[in-house]
Amino acid sequence: MKKDFISLKDLSAQEIEKIFGLTDKIKKNSQKFSQALEGKSIGLIFQKPSNRTRVSFDVGIWQLGGHPVYLSPEEIDLGKRETISDAAKTLSRYLDAVVLRTFLHQDIIDFAKAAAIPVINGLSDFEHPCQILADIYTINKKKKYLKGITLAYVGDGNNVCHSLLFGASKMGINIKVACPKNYEPNKEVVGAAKKFAKKARSLVSLTNSAKEATKDADVIYTDVWASMGKEHEIEERKKVFAEFQVSSRLVSYAKKDFIFMHCLPAHRSQEVIDEIIDGKHSVVFEQAENRLHVQKAILVFLLGERL
Q: Identify whether 101 is a catalytic site residue.
A: yes
> Which residues fall within 8 angstroms of residue 305, CB to CB, at 6 or more apart?
none
d(CA 179, CA 241): 8
Q: Point out the catalytic residue in the list 4, 52, 96, 101.
A: 101
| Count of residues that bind ligand CP according to CB under 6 A | 9
Q: Per DSSP, what are the bridge partners of residue 100?
A: 45, 121
Q: Identify whether 128 is a catalytic site residue.
A: yes
Q: Identify whether 161 is a catalytic site residue.
A: no
The per-residue DSSP string of 232-267 comes to GGHHHHHHHHGGG-B-HHHHTTS-TT-EEEE-S---
Subset of residues 254 to 283 that bind ligand NVA, contact rule: CB under 6 A: 263
Tell me if residue 126 falls in helix, strand or coil: coil
Q: Identify whether 291 is a catalytic site residue.
A: yes
Q: Edge-to-edge strand order for the sheet containing 174-178?
A: 204-207, 174-178, 150-154, 219-222, 259-262
Contact track, ligand NVA, 138-167, x by CB under 6 A: --------------------xxx-------
Under the binding rule (CB under 6 A), the answer on residue 47 touching ligand CP is: no
Supply the minimum distance, in Å, between the C-beta of residue 125 and ligand NVA: 7
Under the binding rule (CB under 6 A), the answer on residue 184 touching ligand NVA is: no
d(CA 126, CA 104): 8
Of positions 47, 124, 131, 270, contacts ligand CP by CB under 6 A: 131
Under the binding rule (CB under 6 A), the answer on residue 264 touching ligand CP is: yes
Under the binding rule (CB under 6 A), the answer on residue 162 touching ligand CP is: no
How many angstroms separate the Cα of 81 from the Cα of each of 75, 76, 116, 277, 280? 9, 7, 20, 41, 48
| Count of residues that bind ligand NVA according to CB under 6 A | 9
Supply the minimum distance, in Å, between the C-beta of residue 131 and ligand CP: 5
> Which residues fall within 8 angstroms of residue 205, CB to CB, at 6 or more apart?
175, 176, 177, 213
Of positions 12, 51, 83, 90, contacts ligand CP by CB under 6 A: 51
Contacted by 160, from ligand CP, ligand NVA, none: CB < 5 to 8 Å by type: ligand NVA
Asked if 291 and 250 count as a contact pair (C-beta separation under 8 A), the reply is: no
Q: For residues 50 and 290, which CB has a smaller minimum distance to ligand CP in the complex?
A: 50
d(CA 81, CA 124): 20
Residues known to be catalytic: 101, 128, 131, 223, 263, 291
Report the interface residues with ligand CP, using CB under 6 A.
50-53, 123, 131, 263-265
Report the interface residues with ligand NVA, using CB under 6 A.
123, 158-160, 223-224, 227-228, 263
